[in-house]
Structure 1
């Protein structure tokens, strides 16, 4: 598995449950949650943008633990 330079989301707190993003050599983006770093989501930049717009617009239900 390639080594990525992960960046933590500015919306993540200092505890666990952080979202990390890294650029892959092929131009896609990798997203992972700090609690399960082996599971990666691979998206093209436009796909990430569309995902974030859908979440912010309420078109996707985001499940949170609680």
Structure 2
């Protein structure tokens, strides 16, 4: 299994986030083929690694 170093990842919070630290996720687009997703309230905690195609389908589904 491939290992990813997320220490220098650039994380982004949804533009729909209210900025008050609510229930948000952050994502990073720094990696080819995978999108790391983490809980914004626990930035040092674990991240889920979602295949990029699955993430794109998820975001497209939400947009609809």
**TM band (smaller chain):** 0.5 to 0.7
State TM-score, norm by structure 1.
0.61
* Stretches of structure 1 lacking an aligned partner (at least 5 in a row): 58-66
CA distance in 1: counterparts of 2:55 and 2:6, whole angstroms = 20
> RCO higher in 1 or 2 (8 Å CA, sep ≥ 6)?
2
* Stretches of structure 2 lacking an aligned partner (at least 5 in a row): none
RMSD: 2.2
Report the structure, 1 or 2, having the larger strand content: 2
State TM-score, norm by structure 2.
0.63
> How many equivalent residue pairs?
55
